[in-house]
Amino acid sequence: MVTTYFCQDVPSAPGQKKGSPRMKSMGRRIDQIPWRLFGHGLVSRVILGYNPPTAIAEGVRMAGRLRGKVAIVTGASRGIGRAISVALGAEGATAVLAARAGDELAKTAEQVGDAGGKAEIVCTELTDETSIRRLVETTSQRFGRLDILVNNAGITHSASLEETRTEDLDRCWTVNARAPFILCREALPLLKQAERATIVNISSVVGVKGYPLQSAYTASKHALRGMSISLAEELRGTNVRVHVICPGGVDTEMVSRVRPDIAKGELIGPGEIAELVVYLVTHQGNGVLDELHIRRATSAPWFVG
């Protein structure tokens, strides 16, 4: 049985977010400085024995590694968030599904159940701090623990900077940067009680570079990535790890709206991002992947050009 919380308070709304196994990883030892900077360069550290395609493929077969764990996933009503929720459920986690659209969350919950997992629906308005707090409080009251937080929800806006209204900027900023900031802050006391906890923030290729007509979206995703870097430093040496995934174009409704020029067959699958999240939250070694850059196979390597 799936319990649904607070959906009557939150109006249904469209849209969500942003991906291929061509990836650039930022790795370090657990005792090293997160996102260690030397001059202007971000140093990539090798994790010995880590083969991404092999590790991911084996991870999919090794179901049950998250049994007993509880995960909050925002933007869980569709796209990447739905895929992440199902993948975590398949590993035995209970997925607390957060978004505004209760009917779409119910579909996600059904898929989590079909994968062998458990789901709880908490309809959440991420522009409302009270609603965000209620998400954490409900999770704490219902399960008494939180092991994984995935800040996935996101919105975009396409316009030149001159044509971007302040309310458009505020909307991107509120959902993409402010909400994850508040949710991390509110969830940290519960995360710190876990033996080992993980925060995964889904940024974007525009969190690393910029595209024309996406200044508001780019600013918000840079902010999310910057907050993650600072938080990782604050939590260094604790039981909580912070990771960022920066995908290129993923096969979602949002990308199809803003990038109709990209052929659907070239887009990254939401399941590919979900597989990487599962790897990050199950990796137990001393090597830490701070950040993953995921691009379409047909796009420029290393997010250049």
Q: Are 287 and 30 in contact (CB under 8 A)?
A: yes
Question: Is 217 among the catalytic positions?
Answer: yes
Buried b (16+ CB within 10 A) or exposed e, 242-263: bbbbbbbbbbbebbeebeeebe
**Percent helix, percent strand, percent coil in the chain, to nearest 5:** 40, 20, 40
Long-range contacts for 45-50 (Cβ within 8 Å, ≥24 apart)? 45/287, 47/285, 47/287, 47/289, 48/287, 50/287
Q: Are 268 and 252 in contact (CB under 8 A)?
A: no
Spatial distance between the Cα atoms of 105 and 120, rounded to a whole number of angstroms: 9
Catalytic residue among 5, 211, 217, 279: 217
User: Which tokens go with 224?
Assistant: 């999310």
* DSSP-assigned beta bridge partners for residue 25: 292
Q: What DSSP designation does 169 have?
A: H
**Catalytic residue numbers?**
217
